Amino acid sequence: MDIQAIKQRFEIIGNSPGLNRAIEVAYRVAPTDLSVLITGESGVGKEVFPQIIHAYSLRKHGPYIAVNCGAIPEGTIDSELFGHQKGSFTGAHENRSGYFEEADNGTIFLDEVSELPLSTQVRLLRVLESGEFIKVGSSKVIKTNVRIVAATNVDIVKLLGQGKFREDLYYRLNTVPVFIPPLRDRKEDISILFRKFSMAFAERYRMPEIVLDEEARQMLIQYDWPGNIRQLKNISEQISIIEKTREIDAGIFRKYLPDYLNEKFPALINSQRDIPFSSEREILYKILFDMKNDVNDLKKLVRTIIEKSPNDLSVEDNSLIDKLYNNSKPLHDPAGSNLPDLVRKDPPHFEDTEEIIEESLSLQEKEVELIRKALDKYSGKRKMAADELGISERTLYRKIKQYDID
């Protein structure tokens, strides 16, 4: 087998291992009559591989029919695939042969096979198992000798779990799987493809070929290309037609990749607006409780400083004092010149007469308090208060009514 000869015949560009493996599998399964399921993302070029299978099969002189299952309405797809009898439904003015009858002794390619309705899947399974089908509105069984190659850009295994695709049909179609890798896994092929497309469009539109500088070329390779080869081809055509300059730098190239920067930074899974009010409220309470603990620690520190003489302060005490007063110089100075007045002078005797009142931990009371503060801050303007609280105005109105807040 000469992979390069196959690439040249079907105009396949690239040398990545994944691509070469897919071509090899398609070539080796071609002489058999096994069903083949081709999988891969949209735009990777799945439609070429059924042609390879047909061209190197024993059916190469028979008909080859490609059907896009997703483009046919559900109400007419059985008629399109299997044909119908005259008078079987409104508009059926004459007998009609379907694709399976027309493709006898040949190959039929079912693209987007995952879009088939369940009732049509039953009919297709019968063709795979016995080579028989019945036209719509008829009772006569028709035999056909057809090689079926199917393709999909979705994960059919997920559809099996959802009951949208028959498991028995999946295993009959997937006798030999062929996976086409996405363009982001074929980094070594991207520059070659872009150059090929640029040359083709330059010849078609009779203009000089566009050339990327080094920075733009790196962007070309690093980009993930969610639309795969189809997107790459479209962008190369746009640049060829729109841009006057033939040397494309990174600034120009970036304009044709609107989501380029978004791909380079991690996406935000949840913004603040996505956080439920109850969760946000819990976060606020946690912050408040942490602040309360910090204040208590600060009180203990001040009490320690007052009760000790400057020379009795430990290294830890000095460090805390330094942070407290934002002083970059060391505080533990025997002369006391660098110490704050609070520490340098003989501390007066303080009697702690403060009555410590246990703070309420009621979530409802805290919620009411936060709502009142937000309303007071914005002079009763509910929309602005709701924005401050991170909730909708409708939710704020409901809670004002619930708690009877003035």
Range of the domain at 258: 185-264
Total domains in the chain come to: 4
CA-to-CA dists, residue 120 to 37, 80, 86, 106, 116, angstroms: 17, 11, 20, 21, 6
CA–CA separation, 8 and 342 (whole Å): 87
Domain presence at residue 330: yes
Residues 54 and 161 in one domain: yes
Final residue of a domain: which of 264, 290, 307? 264
Domain co-membership, 13 together with 136? yes
pLDDT value, residue 165: 96
36 φ, ψ (degrees, to nearest 5): -130, 135
The neighbour count for residue 383, using CB atoms within 10 Å, is: 11
Residue 105 lies in a domain: yes
pLDDT at 46: 96
Q: pLDDT at position 175, please?
A: 95
Q: Looking at residue 272, what DSSP letter applies? A: G
Same-domain check for residues 156 and 195: no
pLDDT by residue, tens only, the chain of 406 residues: 689 999 999 999 999 999 999 999 999 999 999 999 999 999 999 999 999 999 999 999 999 999 999 999 988 999 999 999 988 888 888 999 999 999 999 999 999 999 999 999 999 999 999 999 999 999 999 999 999 999 999 999 999 999 999 999 999 999 999 999 999 999 999 999 999 999 999 999 999 999 999 999 999 999 999 999 999 999 999 999 999 999 999 999 999 987 765 544 444 444 444 444 445 556 666 677 677 777 777 777 777 666 665 556 566 666 666 655 554 444 444 444 444 444 444 444 545 444 555 555 567 787 888 888 888 888 888 888 888 888 888 888 888 888 888 7
Let me know if 302 is exposed, middle or buried by CB neighbors in 10 A (0-12, 13-18, 19+): middle
In this structure, the answer to whether residues 291 and 176 fall within a common structural domain is no
Put simply, whether the predicted model's pTM sits higher than 0.85 gets the answer no
The answer on 132 and 191 residing in a single domain is no
Residues 7 and 91 in one domain: yes
34 and 173 part of one domain = yes
CATH number of the domain where residue 252 is located: 1.10.8.60
- Cβ(190)–Cβ(155) under 8 Å? no
290 and 331 assigned to the same domain = yes
In whole angstroms, what is the distance from residue 268 CA to residue 114 CA? 32
Choose one of 231, 264, 297: the last residue of a domain.
Answer: 264
In a domain, 48, yes or no: yes
Instruction: Mark which of 181, 207, 226 sits at the end of a domain.
Output: 181
Residues 6+ apart with CB under 8 A from 167: 160
Q: What is the CATH number of the domain that holds 394?
A: 1.10.10
